[in-house]
Structure 1
Amino acid sequence: MHEEPDHGRDEDGFRNRGAEVTRMEAFFDAAFAFAVTLMVISIDAIPNSAQALVEALKAVPAFAASFLLIVLFWRGHADWSRRYGLNDRASQRLGLLMVFLVLVFIYPLRMVYASFFAWITDGWLTASISLDTAYDLRVIFAVFAFAFGSMGLAMYALYRRAWALRDQLGLDPLECLLTRHYRRRWLMIPLFSLASLSINAALPADLGNNFILSLPGLIFFVLEGVQLVLARRMHRATRRLLDAP
């Protein structure tokens, strides 16, 4: 199935069905911008000395990680909206759920990242909360897994909704292939989050500061590898489809 280039498609191969910005998309963008603003204004005070400035800059890695996570879901929803142009009630509810989750978890996520960077730098990068016990670390990992998994599940549900309406949307074979791929990739987030929560719950309470305590967090590095493998498989499948006679 050899196809000529279609200038109405994005770089992945989807036709643009969401050219007009809906009120839901505008609200979604504003809510995510507000979430970023909340992270910025959460600084306790404006630095008034060189030492205070250095201490404030130590919060940059946690802010950057939180910002990138927000961008991941903002971009994911923007791509989904452009590809399918859905504005039905179910899609609106899922979008509102994502906004709710981001606004609820924005502070906990930043605290998680701040605690993580403080932990891996042995306290050089400061955090607003301290990890004094193994229980504290387990709580941090559990909060991150629940927040990350919930938002990933909402994105998976959006792609599942698009797949259910594939006939009404008129998805062609390439778009069907890509929709299944992105649905699978977003599903990996709640699955790995559930695995992290399960590992966390299964760990003995008397481990102390054993390295095994970090497993609920380290599993998300495995997720990155899985996503890379899925992306390569999608690329090969796409080339086979486009090169087919």
Structure 2
Amino acid sequence: MKLTDQTRESTGFVYRGLSPSRLEGFTDAVFAFAITLLVVSLEVPKTYAELKSMMAGFIGFAFCFAMLVLLWFMHQKFFRRYGLHDTITMVLNSALLFILLFYVYPLKFVFTLTAAIFFGPGVLGDLSDVEGPIMPADAGSEMMTIYGLGFAAVFFLFFMLYRHAWALRDVLHLTPVERWLTREELWATGTMATIGLLSVLIAWLPFPAASAWAGFFYFLIGPAMFVIKYVSRSRLVKKFPERELPAA
């Protein structure tokens, strides 16, 4: 078969899962349902006040939507690259979807509160029916623990998926370049999971605003991913100057 741009990444990684499977179809449905759970209200607003209240949650929803799209893209890339549908893959994928559906509510809560800090309390919408504070002053560490454990669990399961693909590297006939890129993903997903766990530890340190610092810790994700990708790709070019593309 002659390879085209649709059957291979620009990196040279051959797609082994070009035809979407029932597993991927089910996963797409779960991602769609998770996005539905993020919607402020499933009912059409009947008054302008209800419309304003619903639109107030747009900023938090936008951040959550972007996060879910990122996770969906990572999932799609894995299954396109390796095309695995064995029992271990199905178990890991099912666990990922289970965590995702649980994680969506802490995700929305944290991003909505974060948006309120930067853009004002108006993004929280109508709180007239809420009794007491939105979150107790001493609950920050617990909130960041729930969020951090969910974050770490999601990326740990991605790490395990790539670890499984690495274990099957000979069965999948991965080329040297593909093996290198698989290790790169192991480093990336493992680092993401580690950041989530470290943020949980920071949230419980005995100093003021520990939960806030736990949140700021996630800003390390960008630099960490840049370093991993930059170092990996630089070494890849040196080791494979001609980018040994997989043969057709």
Task: Give me the TM-score of the superposition, normalised by structure 1.
Answer: 0.87
Q: 1:201 to 1:116 in 2, by over 3 A?
A: same
CA RMSD of aligned residues (A): 2.2
Matches of 1:170 and 1:185, distance apart in 2: 22
Instruction: Give the conservation status (yes or no) of the 8 Å contact 1:58–1:125.
Output: yes
Percent identity over the alignment is: 27
Instruction: Give the conservation status (yes or no) of the 8 Å contact 1:10–1:16.
Output: yes
Match of 2:115 among 114, 117, 137: 117
**Is residue 196 of structure 2 the alignment partner of residue 193 of structure 1?**
yes
Matches of 1:239 and 1:163, distance apart in 2: 21
Superposed, which structure 2 residues align to 1:172-187 within 5 Å?
172-187=175-190
CA drift of 1:53 comes to: 2.7
**Is residue 155 of structure 2 the alignment partner of residue 152 of structure 1?**
yes
Indicate the residue corresponding to 1:140 in structure 2. Answer: 143
Letter in 1 for 2:117: W
Letter in 2 for 1:104: F
Matches of 1:64 and 1:122, distance apart in 2: 16
Which consecutive aligned stretches of 4+ in structure 1 deviate over 6 angstroms post-superposition? none
Instruction: Compare 191-200 and 112-121 and name the one that shifted more.
Output: 112-121
Indicate the residue corresponding to 1:61 in structure 2. Answer: 59
**Is residue 228 of structure 2 the alignment partner of residue 230 of structure 1?**
yes
Matches of 1:223 and 1:238, distance apart in 2: 22
CA drift of 1:217 comes to: 0.5
Indicate the residue corresponding to 1:12 in structure 2. Answer: 11
CA drift of 1:244 comes to: 5.5
Instruction: Give the conservation status (yes or no) of the 8 Å contact 1:66–1:113.
Output: yes
Matches of 2:138 and 2:168, distance apart in 1: 45
Q: Residue deviations 1:172-213, cap 9 Å, x none?
A: 010011000011101111100110011112234xx3xx4x54
SS of 1:146's partner is: helix
CA drift of 1:239 comes to: 2.1
CA drift of 1:122 comes to: 4.3
Matches of 1:225 and 1:87, distance apart in 2: 33
Instruction: Give the conservation status (yes or no) of the 8 Å contact 2:203–2:212.
Output: no
Indicate the residue corresponding to 1:170 in structure 2. Answer: 173
SS of 1:125's partner is: helix
Letter in 2 for 1:236: S
CA drift of 1:44 comes to: 7.3
CA drift of 1:51 comes to: 4.0
Letter in 2 for 1:145: G
Q: Residue deviations 1:132-164, cap 9 Å, x none?
A: 543222222222111111101110100000001
Matches of 1:148 and 1:132, distance apart in 2: 20
Matches of 2:43 and 2:170, distance apart in 1: 54
CA drift of 1:123 comes to: 2.0
Task: Give me the TM-score of the superposition, normalised by structure 2.
Answer: 0.86
Letter in 2 for 1:98: L
Matches of 1:69 and 1:149, distance apart in 2: 14
Q: Residue deviations 1:2-36, cap 9 Å, x none?
A: xxx97431133210100121111111111111111
**Is residue 113 of structure 2 the alignment partner of residue 82 of structure 1?**
no
Q: Residue deviations 1:66-112, cap 9 Å, x none?
A: 11111111111110001001111000001111111111221221112
Instruction: Give the conservation status (yes or no) of the 8 Å contact 2:163–2:186.
Output: yes
Indicate the residue corresponding to 1:43 in structure 2. Answer: 41
Gaps (5+ residues) in structure 1?
none
Letter in 2 for 1:71: V
SS of 2:26's partner is: helix
**Is residue 20 of structure 2 the alignment partner of residue 21 of structure 1?**
yes
CA drift of 1:216 comes to: 0.4
Q: 1:150 to 1:198 in 2, by over 3 A?
A: same
Matches of 2:162 and 2:211, distance apart in 1: 34
Letter in 2 for 1:39: L
